[in-house]
């Protein structure tokens, strides 16, 4: 019979050995774990970085209202002009050569392909986002076009997008199911950008370093 101390030592050693078995990784598994952690970190840096112009814009607006900041208007305008380009660059960085395939149906009940190569984000708000890119319709030569995704309807549309910001829907689109995974990853990323923008609105410090100095 083992003494109480001896049994405690054996149990402790067994538990330690079990713990070692749980956390033991091969070299390839360890590298994979590290790579996944790095990817997740870079992705978070990406969408939070893309949201920075909105944070700067909102911060400048608050500074103007609360502090009558002399330079706030110019800072608002600069941040506003860089918001969509920053989001566009972030998407290109995380989804290089982003291409989506759709199936479209026209008024004659004819079905055909629409291949869309993303170039820039034209609109991103609470209701929708509109992407600009090169578009090949029914296998024809590529031309510039726009695709809208409605958050509420969870639907795609080929649209005309006009300089004043108005949108006219042309035909509904169905995403080719071979591209479901790619679009879902993109949608999750864009959603994170949007939430990061809202998060920045709750981290405003109009008395901090971002307050403009008057000259």
What are the tens digits of pLDDT across the range 170-181?
999 999 999 999
C-alpha distances out from residue 192 to 91, 170, 186, Å: 12, 29, 10
189 and 134 co-located in one domain: yes
> Which pLDDT value is given to residue 12?
52
User: What is the C-alpha separation between 176 and 187, in angstroms, rounded?
Assistant: 15
- The arithmetic mean of pLDDT across residues 97-122, rounded, is 96
C-alpha distances out from residue 31 to 25, 133, 168, Å: 9, 37, 49
176 and 103 co-located in one domain: yes
Confidence (pTM): 0.72
105 and 146 co-located in one domain: yes
80 and 103 co-located in one domain: no
172 and 191 co-located in one domain: yes
Nearest to 54, CA basis, from 203, 197, 199, 206: 197
182 and 106 co-located in one domain: yes
User: What is the C-alpha separation between 113 and 97, in angstroms, rounded?
Assistant: 19
| 125, 101 contact by CB (below 8 A) | no
Q: 87 lies in which domain range?
A: 31-93
- Dihedral over Cα of 156, 157, 162, 165: its sign: negative
- The arithmetic mean of pLDDT across residues 22-33, rounded, is 53
Is 18 a member of any domain?
A: no
What percentage of the chain has pLDDT greater than the value 70?
73
150 and 182 co-located in one domain: yes
| 174, 114 contact by CB (below 8 A) | no
Give the pair of three-digit tokens for residue 114. 């629409």
What percentage of the chain has pLDDT greater than the value 90?
48
Is pLDDT at 214 greater than 90 in this prediction?
Answer: no
Is 147 a member of any domain?
A: yes
Is 203 a member of any domain?
A: no
Is 6 a member of any domain?
A: no
Integer distance in angstroms from the first to the last C-alpha of the chain? 86
User: What is the C-alpha separation between 142 and 139, in angstroms, rounded?
Assistant: 8
Assign 72 a pLDDT band (cuts: 50, 70, 90). Answer: confident
Assign 47 a pLDDT band (cuts: 50, 70, 90). Answer: confident
108 and 146 co-located in one domain: yes
> Which pLDDT value is given to residue 16?
45
> Which pLDDT value is given to residue 127?
93
Please give the mean pLDDT across all residues of the chain. 80
> Which pLDDT value is given to residue 27?
58
């Amino acid at each position: 019979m083992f003494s109480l101390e001896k049994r405690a030592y054996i149990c402790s050693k067994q538990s330690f050995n079990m713990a070692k078995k749980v956390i033991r990784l091969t070299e390839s598994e360890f590298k994979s774990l590290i790579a996944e952690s790095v990817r997740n970190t870079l992705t978070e840096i990406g969408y939070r970085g893309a949201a920075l112009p909105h944070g700067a814009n909102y911060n400048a607006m608050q500074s103007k209202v609360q502090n009558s900041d002399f330079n706030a208007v110019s800072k608002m305008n600069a941040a506003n002009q860089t918001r969509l380009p920053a989001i566009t660059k972030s998407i290109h960085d995380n989804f290089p050569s982003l291409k989506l395939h759709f199936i479209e149906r026209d008024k004659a009940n004819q079905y055909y392909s629409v291949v869309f190569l993303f170039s820039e984000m034209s609109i991103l708000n609470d209701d929708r986002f509109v992407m600009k890119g090169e578009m090949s319709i029914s296998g024809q030569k590529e031309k510039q076009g726009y695709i809208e995704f409605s958050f509420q309807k969870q639907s795609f549309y080929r649209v005309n997008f006009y300089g004043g910001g108005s949108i006219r829907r042309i035909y509904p689109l169905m995403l080719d199911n071979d591209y479901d995974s790619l679009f879902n990853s993109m949608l999750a990323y864009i959603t994170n950008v949007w939430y990061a923008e809202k998060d920045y609105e709750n981290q405003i410090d109009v008395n901090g370093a971002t307050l403009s100095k008057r000259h």
